[in-house]
């Protein structure tokens, strides 16, 4: 029984020593493998182009490596086209010896700027035992490609200032930086410094900016396309300049108001017929159509039809109204008109003081009425007497 236990202990010791020895050999062999890139052409590489990669595998360990092979592990954005030798065939790699291989790769056209690893799998006796860093790193630098999208611009007239939301999108593969946005139009100008700056836009990113533009007063109403310029550089300092047209519909806008107004008589009493005379003018850039002056009072609704007022034109209006009872009044005057922007109402309040008639005036009126009545009665009797 004791002898059997002794045999078991010896067997376990041999098995453990064998395992430790094997591990030490494998570890020493793997740690002795070095993978070095000898050539990367071109460098930096560009999306959509071909790439030549030459590597060297060196046995830097303390013993030869039997049944050695190596396989490239190609991942996005690279595609393997061909290679000069087949590293997958097993071979012996002696101490200090090396072997080279050249790979011909293609780069995906949509690959964005960055540093990408090309990995290699090391096989010893068909078992993957990779070094701590079995990668070769390749730098790819793409090219930026900026586009502009603008919000819809509506209801703009000559002389107007309007904000414009711009979306600058990088649909390219490289970073754009030092981006300048400016107006190239002589009639539609950017407010302020006439330039907006964006520090950088990465691939597939969008930057939102708001620019303030002003339309010159002398610009004729019409449909226009005004150019917005983009200037920027890429990661290698190459300059780009692009121009995009943004649509703008400039409309007529009328500005109608009262130039002056006169009310007679003064003072006003409830017995008077009030005469209002005024002038309506159009100081806008567009024609005003269907112009109507309307006055609302307690006693009624009064209108004066003017029709069309062209730019810088004016026209008179007249209203004869009943002032109503005595007291402080606020007459509501409204000018209604139509231009390219639609219907408009301009309101103005006219304060009027209606005073009570003086007593002598009333007495005079009463006397006149009595005399007139008496004269009428006398005349009536005479006519009746002559009739008999």
Do 153 and 216 reside in the same domain of the chain? yes
201, 233 contact by CB (below 8 A): no
Which single residue is written with the structure tokens 């793997």?
30
Same domain, residue pair 166 and 106: no
**Pairwise pLDDT comparison (256 vs 357), residue with the higher score:** 256
The answer to whether residues 98 and 154 belong to one domain is no
CA distance linking residue 362 with residue 175, whole number of Å: 92
pTM beyond 0.75: the answer is no
Tokens of 195: 């330039």
Helices and strands per DSSP (H, E), number in the chain: 2, 24
d(Cα 184, Cα 162) in Å, to the nearest integer? 17
- Per-residue confidence (pLDDT) for residue 53, from 0 to 100: 96
E strand or H helix that includes residue 281: strand 274-282
pLDDT at 154: 79
Pair 61, 101 in one domain = yes
Domain that holds residue 339: 256-354
* Residue 346 sits in the same domain as residue 310: yes
The pLDDT of residue 69? 85
Instruction: List the one residue out of 57, 61, 50, 54 whose CA is nearest residue 26.
Output: 61
Q: What CATH number has the domain bearing residue 283?
A: 2.60.40.10
In a domain, 307, yes or no: yes
367 found inside a domain: no
Taking phi over 0 as left and psi of -120 to 50 as alpha, with beta for the rest, 237 belongs to left
Q: How many CB atoms lie within 10 A of CB 244?
A: 19
Question: pLDDT tens, 329-354?
Answer: 888 999 999 999 999 999 998 888 88
The count of domains in the chain is 3
Rounded to whole angstroms, how far apart are CA atoms 165 and 375? 84
The residue from 226, 249, 272 where one domain ends is 249
Q: Which residues pair with 181 in a beta bridge?
A: 196, 230
Report the length, in residues, of the chain: 388
pLDDT level of residue 220 (50, 70, 90 thresholds): confident
CA–CA separation, 91 and 274 (whole Å): 119
* Model confidence at 1: pLDDT above 50: no
> Is it the case that residue 77 has pLDDT exceeding 90?
yes
Measure the CA–CA gap between 287 and 341, rounded to whole angstroms: 11
Same domain assignment for residues 208 and 264 = no
pLDDT band, residue 362 (cuts 50/70/90): low
> Are residues 157 and 115 part of one domain?
no
Same domain, 215 and 296: no
Of 249, 265, 286, which residue is a domain's last? 249
Cβ proximity of 344 and 337 under 8 Å: yes
Classify 297 as helix, strand or coil.
coil
Residue 90 confidence (pLDDT): 80
């Amino acid at each position: 029984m004791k002898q059997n236990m002794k045999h078991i202990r010896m067997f376990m010791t041999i098995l453990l020593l064998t395992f430790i020895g094997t591990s030490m050999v494998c570890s020493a062999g793997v740690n002795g493998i070095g993978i070095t890139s000898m050539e990367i052409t071109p460098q930096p590489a560009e999306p959509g182009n071909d790439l030549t990669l030459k590597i060297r595998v060196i046995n830097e360990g303390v013993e030869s490596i039997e049944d050695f092979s190596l396989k490239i592990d190609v991942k996005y954005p690279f595609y393997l086209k061909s290679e000069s030798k087949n590293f997958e065939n097993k071979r012996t790699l002696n101490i200090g010896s090396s072997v080279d291989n050249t790979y011909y790769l293609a780069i995906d056209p949509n690959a964005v700027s960055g540093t990408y690893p090309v990995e290699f799998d090391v096989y010893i006796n068909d078992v993957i035992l990779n070094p701590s860093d079995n990668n070769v790193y390749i730098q790819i630098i793409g090219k930026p490609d900026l586009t502009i999208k603008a919000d819809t611009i509506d209801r703009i007239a000559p002389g107007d200032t309007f904000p414009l939301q711009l979306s600058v999108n990088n649909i390219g593969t490289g970073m754009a930086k030092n981006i300048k946005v400016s107006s190239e139009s002589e009639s539609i100008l950017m407010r302020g410094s006439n330039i907006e700056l964006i520090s950088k836009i990465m691939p597939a990113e969008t930057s939102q900016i708001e620019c303030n533009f002003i339309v010159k007063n002398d610009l004729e109403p019409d449909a226009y396309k005004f150019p917005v310029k983009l200037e920027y550089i890429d990661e290698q300092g190459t300059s780009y300049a692009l121009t995009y047209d943004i649509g703008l519909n400039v409309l007529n806008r009328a500005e109608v108001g009262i130039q002056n107004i006169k009310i007679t008589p003064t003072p006003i009493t409830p017995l008077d017929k009030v005469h209002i005379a005024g002038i309506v003018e159009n100081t806008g850039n567009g024609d005003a159509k269907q112009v109507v002056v309307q006055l609302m009072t307690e006693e009624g609704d009064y209108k004066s039809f003017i029709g069309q007022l062209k730019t810088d034109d004016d026209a008179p209006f007249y209203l004869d109204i009943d002032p109503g009872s005595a007291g402080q009044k606020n007459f509501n005057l409204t000018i209604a008109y139509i231009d390219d922007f639609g219907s408009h109402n301009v309101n103005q309040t006219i304060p009027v003081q209606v005073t009570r008639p003086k007593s002598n005036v009333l007495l005079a009126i009463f006397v006149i009425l009595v005399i007139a009545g008496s004269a009428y009665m006398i005349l009536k009797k005479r006519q009746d007497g002559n009739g008999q």
